[in-house]
């Protein structure tokens, strides 16, 4: 023990000193950026858009439009004023980061210009555009918009306040309830998204819209031998405002910007914790040992994390028990790597992931034995321009279950990644092998992260291009002759926006140009639309994989009235949109597109 104390002290000394050492390795910077040689100075004042009064102690950041990098940042002072020095020439989006203030939502990628992205998504400017020439200073007036607020109290079924309850929000977007990312994607103990000791919560800075409020209890360490009805995983016990156990029964909260939706009180109905038990077996009926199980609510499967946070494993005879589950519909999925034990023999194996639906109602649920199968295997070669790729780790095509291959718009990246299988090539010879694939129908698709260096050209097996027709896998199938070809012969599309009828020579200056895949196959190759600004002469250019596209140009006013740009939109409006077809390496010039969609 005494030696340990000595070690502790030595380590703590090192840690405390490391505060200074670590600090001293970074560049010293005072409140304002030190005067750099050259660069413009951006001065400004931030005021609340509703009262006109200064917004103090708010962080302002200048993001470069081209790549989203924060070039400079500062805090506003007592007058709401700020100074950003040494800004190189360019176009920027100035963002305000302060509690309760609305921020742009649509910034998802560094590929498309910041301003074009957020304008298209938010349909309004929650930023201030700043253009500097690298020498002269500019003055800006920034208006900060107060978002809406949802606040209320959470009580138990016997009217006692529920502290440390976790709050998550869903917002209605294009007819679907989508998770409000910052309430789901956060480390669970974030104070603002938890009820206080009086059960009160308050979430500010929300864009206008319709919301659902979802409450779950806190997780507590369970340990030892607690009473049978004690439960540790409070995240299983969830309720929607006002007291509903499912989304259809939940009541919608309409949020107005600058206003407060108060009294959004949630009362937990009595939720009895039941259990789900069963067994996991291997292909030859061996016990599936140490298999990790994940459990989701069925209606949240697309966007929620595993409710049990990966804590459930099968034991040495393959059986499992998930305690603390209230009535509801669930999906249990089994991860892909388990041990199979058959009497004395154990072997580790990859098995195909499996999902089963379970309904819990009125009592403990016992599911039929879950039999895992080895799944199918596909193998073959990965090539880049016909040769073994040098950086093969960058080339990761995906195998996407057919039906889940929602294309360029709509589904969030998390939806896609949850159900896809990655194909990794071997650096030595470009060969790949993907095993333990569940039986089914699949599409090959480009990896979700957009790429400028190569695109998925074709996937050939027995003369059939699997980017155009799906691959059907039977359980246990072994397919070994797949050639996945990537290519670098991007094409380019250049053009200009034709002036609107009746406008004569007057050029449209400020337009956002959108290039979207025109077919389902293209949606698997270009996984998100490309967006650009047209220049001062209304010209634009895109570098894209060869294929078929829609091109459209929109003014900010037109963006506001546009319906969401998802796959359905492009299918419905296809006749009104300019369609472009282009081959590998082709440079298409002089494309004329009208402004707006008629």
Partner 1 sequence: MTSTTKIRMLLFIALMCLPSIAAAQKETPAAQSIITGRVVFADTGRPVRRATLKLYTSMRLGPTRTTAANIRGEFRFSEVSAGSYFVVAEAAGLLFPRSAYAVNEFGIGSDTEMEHTQVTVDGSNSIRCEVRAFRAGTIKGTITYVDKEPVLAGRIVLFRRKGGVVVPFLTEAASTNDRGMYRIDGLPDGEYFVGVAAGRLPLGKARVSQEEVGIPTAYYPGVTDISEAKPIEIQSGSEITGINITLNENPLREISGVLKWRNTGKVAHPAAVIISRKNEPRVDLSLGTLYESMANDQDGGGSILRDFSLVSRSVPPFLMVEKNGEWKFIDLPPGKYVVTAFGAPPKDEKANTRDGAAADDSGSHQRIDPDRVVFQQVELTLEDEDLTDVTIELPVGSRILGTVNVEGSEPIKASILVDQRGGNELLLSVPHHNSPDGSFMLDGLPTGEVILDADVSGFPDSYLKSITLGGQDLLREPIVLTEGAEVAGVRINIAKGLALLTGRVQFKEDAAPAAGGGVLLVKADSKLWHLRSSRRFAMTNAAGEFRVTCAPGEYLVFTWPAGNQPFQSIVEFVRLQASTARTVTLQSKEEKRIELTVAKPKK
Site for partner 1 in 84-103 (CB under 8 A): 98-101
Instruction: Kindly tell me which of 11 and 509 has the beta carbon lying closer to partner 1.
Output: 11
- Cα distances from 64 to residues 46, 187, 429, in angstroms, run 19, 29, 40
Q: Applying CB under 8 A, which of residues 6, 185, 254, 537 lies at the interface with partner 1? A: 6
Neighbours of 363 (CB within 10 A): 10
Quick one: CA dihedral 531, 536, 542, 548, positive or negative? positive
Q: Judged by CB, which is closer to partner 1: 44, or 545?
A: 44
What is the distance between the alpha carbons of residues 325 and 318, in angstroms, rounded to a whole number?
20
Q: Which is nearer to partner 1, 253 or 338 (CB)?
A: 253
Number of residues in contact with partner 1 under rule CB under 8 A: 79
Q: How far is the CB of 481 from partner 1 (least distance, A)?
A: 46
Which of 11, 131, 402, 417 lies at the binding interface for partner 1 (CB under 8 A)? 11
Enumerate residues 25-44 that contact partner 1 by CB under 8 A: 25-31, 34
Site for partner 1 in 52-71 (CB under 8 A): 53-59
Q: CB nearer to partner 1: give 48 or 444.
A: 48
**Minimal distance, residue 46 CB to partner 1, in Å:** 12
Q: How far is the CB of 19 from partner 1 (least distance, A)?
A: 6
Closer to partner 1 by CB, 31 or 345: give it. 31
Min dist CB 253 to partner 1, Å, is 17
In the complex, minimum distance from the CB of residue 305 to partner 1, in angstroms, rounded to a whole number: 21
Non-local (6+) Cβ contacts of 14 within 8 A are none
Of 494, 512, 376, 493, which is closest to residue 440 (Cα–Cα)?
376
User: Is the separation of the CB atoms in 200 and 153 below 8 Å?
Assistant: yes
Q: Which is nearer to partner 1, 199 or 278 (CB)?
A: 199
Burial class (CB in 10 A: 0-12, 13-18, 19+), 188: middle
- Residue number with CB closer to partner 1 (223 or 343): 223
Q: What angle do CA 509, 515, 519 make, to 5 degrees?
A: 155
**Which one of 128-136, 215-223, 298-306, 510-518 is the stretch in contact with partner 1 (CB under 8 A)?**
215-223
Strands 587-594, 491-498: pairing is parallel
Tokens of 61: 């950041």
Tell me the β-bridge partners of 140.
44
Q: Of these, 68, 73, 319, 374, which contacts partner 1 (CB under 8 A)?
A: 73
Strands (E), 462-573: 464-465, 471-473, 478-487, 491-498, 512-517, 530-533, 539-544, 547-554
Site membership for partner 1, residue 24 (CB under 8 A): yes
Closest distance between partner 1 and the C-beta of residue 7, in Å? 7
Nearer to partner 1, 73 or 311 (CB): 73
Helices (H), 52-194: 114-122, 181-184
Nearer to partner 1, 95 or 115 (CB): 95
Q: Map the footprint of partner 1 across residues 171-210, applying CB under 8 A.
A: 191-192, 196-198, 202, 204-205
Name residue 491's beta-bridge partners.
544
Helices (H) and strands (E) in the chain, counts: 7, 43
The candidate with the shortest Cα–Cα distance to 240, out of 269, 218, 202, 210, is 269
Matching residue, tokens 């600090």:
23
Say which residues have a Cβ less than 8 Å from residue 463's Cβ, sequence separation at least 6.
none
The minimum distance between CB 77 and partner 1, in angstroms, equals 7
Q: What is the DSSP letter of 5?
A: H
Q: Does 256 bind partner 1 (CB under 8 A)?
A: no
Of 21, 89, 361, 464, the residue at the interface with partner 1 (CB under 8 A) is 21
Q: What are phi and psi of 208, to 5 degrees?
A: -60, 150
- Contact residue for partner 1 among 41, 45, 66, 75 (CB under 8 A): 75
Query: Of 45 and 331, which has the nearer Cβ to partner 1?
Result: 45
For the bound state, the minimum distance from the C-beta of residue 39 to partner 1, rounded and expressed in Å, comes to 18
Residue range at the interface with partner 1 (CB under 8 A); choices 16-24, 119-127, 286-294, 399-407:
16-24
**Minimum CB separation from partner 1 for residue 96, in Å?**
11
Choose between 101 and 116: whose C-beta lies nearer to partner 1: 101
Stretch that binds partner 1, among 4-12, 121-129, 472-480, 538-546 (CB under 8 A): 4-12
List the x/- string, 488-517, binding to partner 1 by CB under 8 A.
------------------------------
Contact 147, 207 (CB under 8 A): yes
Q: Which is nearer to partner 1, 230 or 356 (CB)?
A: 230
Q: According to CB under 8 A, which residues from 428 to 487 bind partner 1?
A: none
Q: Which of 533, 528, 534, 499 is nearest to 516 (CA)?
A: 528
Residues in Cβ contact with 186 at an 8 Å cutoff, skipping those fewer than 6 apart: 193
DSSP-derived pairing of the beta strands 209-216 and 238-240: antiparallel
Q: How far is the CB of 394 from partner 1 (least distance, A)?
A: 24
Least CB distance to partner 1 at residue 333 (A): 27
Q: From the CA atom positions of the chain, what is the Rg in Å?
A: 28
Regarding 561 and contact with partner 1 (CB under 8 A), the answer is no
Site string for partner 1, 217-236 (x = CB under 8 A): xx-xxxxxxxx-xxxx-x--
123-152 residues in contact with partner 1 (CB under 8 A) are 146, 149
CA nearest 449: which of 546, 528, 541? Answer: 528
The span of 36-44, 116-124, 132-140, 156-164 binding partner 1 (CB under 8 A) equals 156-164
Closest CA to 85 of 53, 27, 43, 28: 43
CB closer to partner 1, 163 vs 594: 163
CB of 234 or CB of 288, closer to partner 1: 234
Nearer to partner 1, 33 or 496 (CB): 33
Strands 253-255 and 138-144: unpaired
Q: What does the alpha-carbon distance between residue 235 and residue 220 come to, in Å, rounded to a whole number?
A: 10
């Amino acid at each position: 023990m005494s030696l340990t104390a000595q070690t502790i002290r030595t380590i703590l000394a090192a840690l405390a000193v490391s505060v200074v050492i670590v600090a001293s390795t970074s560049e010293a910077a005072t409140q304002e950026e030190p005067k750099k040689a050259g660069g413009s100075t951006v001065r400004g004042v931030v005021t609340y858009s509703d009262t006109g009064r200064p917004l103090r102690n708010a962080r302002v950041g200048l993001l470069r439009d081209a790549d989203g990098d924060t070039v400079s940042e500062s805090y506003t002072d007592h007058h709401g004023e700020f100074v950003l020095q040494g800004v190189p020439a360019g176009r920027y989006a100035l963002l305000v980061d302060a509690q309760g203030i609305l921020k742009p939502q649509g910034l998802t990628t560094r590929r498309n210009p910041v301003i074009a992205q957020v304008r298209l998504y938010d349909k309004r400017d929650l930023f201030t555009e700043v253009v500097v020439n690298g020498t002269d200073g500019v003055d800006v007036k920034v208006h900060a918009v107060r978002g809406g607020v949802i606040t209320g109290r959470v009580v138990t079924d016997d009217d006692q306040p529920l502290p440390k309850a976790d709050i998550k929000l869903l917002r209605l977007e294009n007819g679907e309830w989508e998770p409000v990312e910052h309430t789901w994607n956060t480390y669970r103990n974030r104070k603002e998204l938890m009820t206080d000791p009086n059960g009160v919560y308050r979430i500010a800075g929300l864009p206008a819209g319709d919301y659902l409020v979802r409450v779950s209890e806190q997780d507590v360490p369970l340990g030892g031998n607690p009473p049978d009805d004690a439960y540790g995983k409070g995240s299983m016990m969830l309720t929607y405002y006002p007291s509903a156990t499912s989304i259809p029964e939940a009541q919608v909260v309409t949020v107005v910007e600058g206003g407060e939706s108060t009294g959004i009180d949630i009362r937990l109905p009595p939720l009895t914790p039941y259990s789900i038990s069963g067994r996991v077996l291997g292909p030859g009926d061996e016990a599936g040992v140490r298999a990790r199980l994940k459990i989701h609510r069925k209606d949240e499967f697309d966007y929620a994390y595993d409710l049990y946070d990966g804590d459930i494993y099968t034991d040495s005879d393959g059986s499992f028990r998930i305690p603390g589950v209230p009535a509801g519909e669930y999906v249990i999925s089994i991860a892909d790597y388990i041990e199979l034990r058959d009497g004395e023999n154990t072997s580790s194996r990859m098995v195909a992931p499996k999902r089963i639906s379970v309904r819990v109602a009125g009592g403990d649920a016992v599911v039929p034995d879950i039999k895992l199968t080895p799944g199918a295997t596909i193998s073959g070669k990965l090539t880049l321009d016909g040769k073994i790729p040098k950086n093969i780790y960058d080339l990761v095509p995906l195998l996407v279950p057919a039906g889940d291959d929602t294309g360029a718009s709509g589904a969030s990246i998390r939806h896609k990644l949850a159900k896809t299988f990655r194909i990794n090539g071997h650096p030595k010879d470009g060969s790949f092998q993907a095993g333990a694939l569940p039986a089914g129908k699949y599409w090959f698709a480009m990896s979700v992260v957009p790429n400028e260096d190569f695109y998925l050209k074709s996937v050939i097996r027995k003369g059939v291009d699997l980017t155009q027709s799906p691959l059907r896998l039977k359980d246990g199938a072994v397919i070994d002759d797949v050639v996945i070809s990537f290519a670098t012969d991007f094409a380019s599309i250049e053009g200009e926006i034709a002036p609107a009828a009746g406008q004569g020579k007057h050029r449209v200056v400020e337009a956002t140009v959108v290039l979207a895949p025109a077919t389902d196959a293209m949606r698997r190759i270009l996984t998100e639309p490309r967006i650009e600004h047209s220049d001062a002469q209304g010209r634009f250019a895109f570098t894209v994989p060869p294929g078929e596209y829609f091109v459209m140009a929109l003014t900010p006013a037109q963006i506001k009235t546009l319906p969401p740009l998802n796959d359905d939109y492009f299918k419905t409006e296809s006749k009104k949109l300019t369609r472009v077809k282009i081959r590998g390496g082709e440079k298409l010039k002089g494309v004329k597109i009208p402004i707006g969609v008629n």
